[in-house]
Amino acid sequence: MTGRHRIPKCGSDPPVLSVYLDLALSALTAVNDAVRELAHLLPRPATEAPRKDWAAVARQLGADLPADYKHFIATHGGGYVDNYLWILEPGCANDNYDLVDNDEERTEAFEYLWDGDEDKPREMEEGARLIPWASTDNGEFLFWLTRPGQDPDTWTVMVNEARGSDWEHFDTGFAPFLLAVLSGTLRSGILSDRFPTTPHDFRPAGDFV
């Protein structure tokens, strides 16, 4: 927020800042609700998820990660959702689904493609970055769209088709997006029509080593 705002006199309308704070609190509440609902929607693994050194992960990536994603990894770990979607995690027992490795691979791939004939998605303004958090059996990828100085908890979601240049942008974060897709209230034109399934299934990536 830029510009100057006069302090309102007693009895006047609430300051603009309070409106923004109310909106931020509302968004945070929605994220927390999504985190709790996801925990009930997806069965927890029988074994405890390995603990992560998030400070070390942030150093590797050059960025911290959203709190709702960290909570999911703490309760479930990375894994296979409804026989289609792989939730990536740093330090994954299965290298194919390691978040840091996939970030490096996707970054190199996009540099090659975007230096060639393929156009960047229009959301990728100067300084923006994509960090992958999921992939699929078909080869689609799901990313956080990040911008310089942006709070990770406000990152939004981008979906990229397999081996192609079609993109979708969803103005929501990890947990609300995943919950909406699994509950059927949000549909992607890129992800498979056969996803999600019911009842939902979750298997840790470590089971596929």
Q: Read off the pLDDT of each residue in 134-157 and give the average, rounded to a whole number.
A: 97
Percent of the chain with pLDDT over 90: 73
User: Can you give the pLDDT at residue 102?
Assistant: 98
Q: Is the pLDDT of residue 83 over 90?
A: yes
- pLDDT tens profile 91-119: 999 999 999 999 999 999 999 999 988 89
- pLDDT tens profile 8-63: 444 444 554 444 334 444 444 557 788 889 988 998 898 889 999 999 999 999 99
Q: Place 67 in a pLDDT band, splitting at 50, 70 and 90.
A: very high
Please enumerate in sequence order all residues whose Cβ is within 8 A of that of 172, keeping only pairs 6 or more positions apart, or say none. Answer: 156, 157, 180
Percent of the chain with pLDDT over 70: 86
Compute φ and ψ for 44, nearest 5 degrees: -75, 145
Average pLDDT value for the chain: 87
Burial 68-102 (b: 16+ CB within 10 A, else e): bbbbbbeebbbbbbbebbbbbbbbbbbeebbbbbb
User: Can you give the pLDDT at residue 62?
Assistant: 97
User: Can you give the pLDDT at residue 4?
Assistant: 44
